[in-house]
Amino acid sequence: MAVSSLAGIDEAALVAQAREGDTTAFSELVRRYEGKIFRLAQHVTQNREDAEDVLQETFMKAYEHLDQFKGDSKFYTWIVRIAVNQALMKLRRRKTDKSVSLDETIDTGEDMVVREIAAWGEDPEQQLSREELGGILDSAIQSLEPLYRSVFVLRDIDELSTEETAEALGLSVPAVKSRLLRARLQLREKLTRFFKRKGDDAFAYM
């Protein structure tokens, strides 16, 4: 059966077929999710070559351990956890990342304290082209620590629910909420500083 003919089959049926040894069904699962997994891996590793390795390793491990997938969650949620683990292993092997594991518990109490954040003032899209703004935002996301970056990508880019993100990353729901809040605050601060600097530069030429 061609992969294209499997496009309308739901995920659970594809997983069931793949577990029976149907490689075409598994290829369809790869086709559906490889883009998202690659993007997540690139956000975590900040390296295209490493992200490509993570993508391959993720689906290889998923295929090898498909019998361990019980179907209690979405298949995508399951492979996200594999991908994050593989990406963090890449970072540890490179020894360029000093952040702690995603499984480490953090004190979430202070995260809920209201912080004063400067307003942007003008709409950033009025100052920059969409392409430039997109590059600035992507750069700001990349500057987040991996444990915050992963949560932000899954929740705000891939639009997983808080519960799905928690399950994918092996975290509690409060920890996901805490890290997402911290990521959003850090991003807004970075963008606020950037646009303030941009405005100062503009005044310097007046």
Q: 110-204 in CATH: which number?
A: 1.10.10.10
- pLDDT, one tens digit per residue, over 116-151 is 333 334 444 444 455 666 677 777 888 888 888 888
Q: 8-94 in CATH: which number?
A: 1.10.1740.10
Domain boundaries, the chain: 8-94, 110-204
- pLDDT, one tens digit per residue, over 5-25 is 666 688 889 999 988 888 889
Tell me the three-class secondary structure of the chain, residue by residue.
Answer: CCHHHHCCCCHHHHHHHHHCCCHHHHHHHHHHHHHHHHHHHHHHHCCHHHHHHHHHHHHHHHHHCHHHCCCCCCHHHHHHHHHHHHHHHHHHHHCCCCCCCCCCCCCCCHHHCCCCCCCCCCCHHHHCCHHHHHHHHHHHHHCCCHHHHHHHHHHHHCCCCHHHHHHHHCCCHHHHHHHHHHHHHHHHHHHHHHHHHHHHHHHHCC
Question: Is residue 77 pLDDT above 70, yes or no?
Answer: yes
